[in-house]
Amino acid sequence: MSTFEEASRDATTGAGDGSFFARQATGLVREGKAYDAFIYNVMWSGGALTLAFMYLLVPTLYPAANLPFTVLIAAILGIGGAFLYALLTTLMPRTGGDYVFVSRTIHPFLGFAANFSYVFWNMVVVGVYATFLSTYGVGAILRMLVGFGASDSLLSTADWFASDWGIFVSGTVMTVLAAATFILGGTQLFFRLQQMTFVIYIIGAFLLVVIVGLLTSHASFLGSFNDYAQNLGTADAAAKVQAGAAKAGYTDTGYTVHDTIKAVSVAWFIFGFIFSSNYFAGEIKTGRRTQFYAIPGAVALVVLLLLITIPSFQHMAGRDFINQLGTADPAAYGFGAGAPAYPEIAAIGSGSPILGFIIIVGFLGGIVAWLPMTMMLASRCMLAWSFDKVMPEKLSDVDERTHSPIVAVLIVAILYILSTAAYAFTDWFTTLTVLFPETLTLLVVAVAGAILPYRRRELYESSARARRAAGLPLLTVVGILAFVGFLIAEIILLTDPGSGTSITDNPRIVLISLGIFFGVGPLIYFGSRAWRRTQGIDLDLAYAEIPPE
């Protein structure tokens, strides 16, 4: 029975205008709404987290960055990739993302290596989410309650959430809850939770921040900030922020092109993940244009949200003051557990614990939804590896009731907890470390896209996207553009000391990233291939390019 997946492709044949005669057959369903797939991608992008990074990292790393321009540069570098993934997802629907794009276009070992690396670093980045969940989510809510007049006994609890153990325990609890969601309620429960989270995320993390930012003057904000810090135990905190920043050597130098470009390292966080939706978007084949609304459209919306939120927020808090907040010692102005992230600053500006609560909970919602989404992605990749016999069959065991790959989910959960521990108790990784290795995978996918019309000519020529541009197949052109964008981003990451993967400052992490991609991945693939051969299984068959003639 064909389902809507193929049906959407069927529906592209011109049915309805009389030029196509459909049989009474299964699967000829009508198109779903691009809007739904769009929601999914927006949730994936980590837009609010990127905004939080900006205001936490930019003051010390790139104080002269013009953030709206930084976001625009990142968007220009990433938009080619958005169209590339949209095209690839349309051409190879239901394929498990880049693992299949690359393995079926270039070579299975490269497909596995690229995907393995991507999944590995996706697990590592969970530690970042755990940190922000605990410190800038739960911890910030408790601190905000004190800041707005609740008992200061909550402050020690708030501070605990920003501690190493607080981060580890919160991240672990969240991981266990995410795993339990899948194991007990399956993907349907998760989707319901995600849907509920989306509204509060957009309202809290973005729209309320914009409204509060536009309606609050800087002077009014400074007054609220002082009142807030007073409740935390520090008087005249705004002045102490300025003094602390001066003591730390901060001076406002205005905007520079150098810092604006370097800060792309932070804004690129969106593009390290927004394409990940192809792992699931492949199942949302609701029409031949859907992916083009859903993936590039999500990029456009997230960029738009950032472009309206940043100026509004800066109107209220002041760019200079935000930089001072980030450079001064937080203890000097009463925020002993750490500098506030943008949701807490917006909450302060709102002057209302209720609005503040909605803002921080909206921010928290994005993180809470992201963790199980990543868990799904990783477990789904493991399923794909297991299907191809690269990994043990046990990984593809799916629960009949919940449709969840229980073993894969449990393995991912354990790895998540290890990642959370690494971020909580060590300084192995910085916030942005994962972007360089993740972009390596994107680069390989761009190459796969560029050569697909030549390597899988029949597939490409038979598709609805078999167009040409500048004398080349459209997909080749888009692949080249995406490659150039990814490459520039990669160069920025490799030359920026703030990225955590600077070739001069962090050569060890760069080598580890390359080693996992080009060493561990191929080792697993070829090791598995040799092991399977002893079992009489020819792994190459799983990927064989079978001639039709």
Partner 1 sequence: MLRILFATDFHGAEVCFRKLFNLAPRAKVDVIVIGGDLCGKGLVPLVERNGSFSGEFLGAPFDVPAGEQTGEIEKRIRFNGFYPYRCTPAEIERLRSEPEHLTAVMDGELAATVERWMALADEKLADTGVICVSIPGNDDELVIDAPLDAAKRVRNCDGRLIDFGEFQMVGFGASNPTPWNSPREFPEEEIERRLEAAVVGVDPDRPLLANIHVPPYRSTLDDAPLVDDQLRPVIKGGNPVAGPVGSHAVRSFIERHQPLVSLHGHIHESRGASRIGGTLAINPGSDYSSGTLQAVIVSIDLRKRKVKGHQFISG
- Binding partner 1 (rule: CB under 8 A), the pick from 69, 255, 357, 387 is 387
Choose the stretch contacting partner 1; rule: CB under 8 A; options: 141-149, 218-226, 382-390, 439-447.
382-390
Alpha carbons 122 and 333: distance in angstroms, whole number: 35
Q: Which of 107, 218, 288, 455 binds partner 1 (CB under 8 A)?
A: 288
Residues 403 to 432 in contact with partner 1, rule: CB under 8 A: 403
Q: Which is nearer to partner 1, 89 or 117 (CB)?
A: 89
Q: Tell me the closest approach of the beta carbon of residue 481 to partner 1, in angstroms.
A: 23
Q: Distance between CA atoms of 87 and 105, rounded to whole angstroms?
A: 14
Residues within window 459-478 making contact with partner 1, judged by CB under 8 A: 459, 461-464
Q: Measured from the CB of residue 176, what is the shortest distance to partner 1 in angstroms?
A: 22
The only residue of 89, 396, 420, 528 in contact with partner 1, by rule CB under 8 A? 396
Confirm or reject binding of residue 24 to partner 1 (CB under 8 A): yes
Print the binding letters for residues 99-118 with partner 1: x by CB under 8 A, - otherwise: -x---x--------------
3-state secondary structure 315-330: HHHCHHHHHHHHHCCH
Under rule CB under 8 A, residue 534 binds partner 1 = no
Binder among 153, 219, 249, 401 for partner 1 (CB under 8 A): 401
Residues 311-370 within binding reach of partner 1 (CB under 8 A): none
Q: Is residue 438 a contact partner of residue 123, using CB atoms and an 8 Å limit? A: no
Helix H or strand E segment including 457:
helix 457-461
Is 545 among the residues that bind partner 1 (CB under 8 A)? yes
Question: Nearest approach, Cβ of 265 to partner 1 (angstroms)?
Answer: 29
CA distances from 142 to 150, 203, 220, 345, 543 (A): 9, 20, 23, 14, 53
Question: Which residues partner with 472 through β-bridges?
Answer: 469
Identified binder of partner 1 from the candidate list 195, 230, 242, 430, rule CB under 8 A = 195
CB count within 10 Å of CB 464 equals 12
Q: Which is nearer to partner 1, 396 or 420 (CB)?
A: 396
Shortest gap between Cβ of 438 and partner 1 (angstroms)? 22
- Piece of 38-46, 74-82, 159-167, 342-350 that binds partner 1 (CB under 8 A): 38-46
Tell me, letter by letter, the H, E, C secondary structure of 382-413. Answer: HHHHHHCCCCCHHHHCCCCCCCCCHHHHHHHH
483 binds partner 1 (CB under 8 A): no
Report helix, strand or coil for 472.
strand
- How many CB atoms neighbour CB 514 within 10 A? 14
Query: Least distance (Å) from partner 1 to the CB of residue 545?
Result: 6
Residue 37: enclosing H or E segment and its boundaries? helix 34-44
Residues 6+ apart with CB under 8 A from 131: 167, 171, 423, 424, 431
Min dist. Cβ of residue 208 to partner 1 (A)? 22
The SS3 call for residue 468 is strand
- How near is the Cβ of 24 to partner 1 at its closest, in Å? 6
From candidates 58, 77, 88, 92, binder to partner 1 by CB under 8 A: 92
- Binders of partner 1 in range 252-281 (CB under 8 A): 280
Rank residues 191 and 425 by Cβ distance to partner 1 and give the closer one.
191
Among 37, 125, 261, 368, binds partner 1 (CB under 8 A): 37
Residues touching partner 1, count (CB under 8 A):
84
- Find out whether 239 and 466 touch, Cβ atoms under 8 Å: no
Rounded alpha-carbon distances, angstroms, from residue 487 to 67, 203, 483, 496: 21, 34, 6, 14
Residues 134-193 that bind partner 1 (CB under 8 A): 187-188, 191-192
Helix (H, G, I), strand (E, B) or coil at 95: coil
